[in-house]
Amino acid sequence: MTEKRRSRVTLQQVANHAGVSRATASLVVRGSPHISKETREKVLNSMKELGYVYDRVAANLRSHRSSTVGLIITEIGNPFFSDLLAGVHESLDQEGYTVILGTTFDSPAKQDELLSTMLEYRVGGVIMSPVPGCSVDMVERLKQWGIPVVLVAREELPMRQFDYVGIDNVAGGRLATKHLIQQGHRRIAFIGGFSGSSVWRDRKKGYCEALEQAGIELDESLLIQSLTTRKGGMEAMKRALELPNPPTAAFCYNDVVAFGAMLGLKEVGMMPGRDIAIVGFDNIQESAIFHPPLTTIAAFPERIGVHAAHILHKRMTGETSEPKRLILQPELVVRESSSGIPHSS
């Protein structure tokens, strides 16, 4: 898959140059305290002179350690995940880890393949956002090998045995729906996403709870699934409008879907926030600058990433407590897209 490269300066050469043994040179490289100043300096000098570069691969092989971490996300396109990535990456980087990246594009097969690759590369740990419908086998396998796995953002399968960092999607769904109810809406659609995912089910649960609390009966026809893309959101919204008794408000699966939904409304000459109220989920950066600015549920992807990185770091340095579950509380961010007063219907 590649090409040969030129000769590497080895620790042996450094040792020869400095007139010590390879073992001693190795201790110097790793900053061992049991080395006299003189030898240390001799070796350090030789390293510089020869242009020595530490071979972490060889070291990892021999020592059975790894400073590599695998990060597996489902899609880079969604800002939620690029923010998550940023959080993980930066924290891990600070701790001295190196990150190997993988993207599943929501394919279970691809996820297994990536986990395999991670194993082959001897990663010391994995942070992963699991694909809906994936099997737990591969993940368990990593665990059996003693490779800690921290799950983020999605809870698929019976995964209580793993560390998990995510957002409270039920609470988020409740928050969003309650807000719309308080604005006077009673016909509220839940738009976009796919019922096969745990995230969808949780947000829907919150949606249902809020309706029930307000004494509004659930109308199944207002549950409109779609791809979690802008296009998917647009189509879903159009289907909602074609209903015999269309909604006056919509809680969207996430911000990307909400953008699509709002674009769909504009296309048919309706104004989100005036003709129909919209609430999203995630609070990605774009939601503040969309027109109208999107009311949404903040899900703090970057924070999730940072927490996951910390937990993984602890696991990799020997912490063996029970699996942790860290559920961040979402927050309602009110902007203009939800300010519409419901039409009588």
Partner DNA sequence: GTGAAAGCGCTAACAA
Partner DNA sequence: TTGTTAGCGCTTTCAC
Residues near a second copy (CB under 8 A) are 1-6, 8, 51, 53-58, 60-61, 64-68, 71, 76-77, 79, 82, 85-86, 89-90, 93, 95-103, 116-117, 119-122, 124-125, 141, 144-148, 230, 259, 263, 286, 289-292, 315-318
Q: What is the DSSP string of 156-215?
A: -SS-TTSEEEEE-HHHHHHHHHHHHHHTT---EEEESS-TTSHHHHHHHHHHHHHHHHTT
Least spacing, CB of residue 67 vs DNA, in Å: 11
Binding residues (CB under 7 A) for DNA: these are: 7-8, 10-12, 19-24, 26-27, 29-30, 33-36, 38-40, 52, 54-55, 58-59, 61-65
Q: For residue 227, which of 206, 197, 187 has the smallest C-alpha distance?
A: 197
- Written as six digits, the tokens of 292 are 């109208």
Burial (CB count <10 Å: 0-12, 13-18, 19+), residue 53: exposed
Taking the least distance from each CB to DNA, the nearer of 55 and 212 is 55
Taking the least distance from each CB to DNA, the nearer of 58 and 268 is 58
Taking the least distance from each CB to a second copy, the nearer of 136 and 263 is 263
Strand (E) or helix (H) holding 142: helix 137-144
Angle between helices 37-50 and 22-29 (to 10 degrees): 90
Which of a second copy, DNA, none lies near 136, with the C-beta cut-off 5 to 8 A by kind?
A: none
**DSSP-derived pairing of the beta strands 163-167 and 325-328:** parallel
- Written as six digits, the tokens of 163 are 């560390």
Which of DNA, a second copy, none lies near 291, with the C-beta cut-off 5 to 8 A by kind?
A: a second copy
Taking the least distance from each CB to DNA, the nearer of 33 and 244 is 33
Which of DNA, a second copy, none lies near 146, with the C-beta cut-off 5 to 8 A by kind?
A: a second copy
Which of a second copy, DNA, none lies near 26, with the C-beta cut-off 5 to 8 A by kind?
A: DNA
**DSSP-derived pairing of the beta strands 125-128 and 149-152:** parallel
Least spacing, CB of residue 36 vs DNA, in Å: 4
Q: What is the CA radius of gyration of the chain?
A: 26
Which of DNA, a second copy, none lies near 20, with the C-beta cut-off 5 to 8 A by kind?
A: DNA
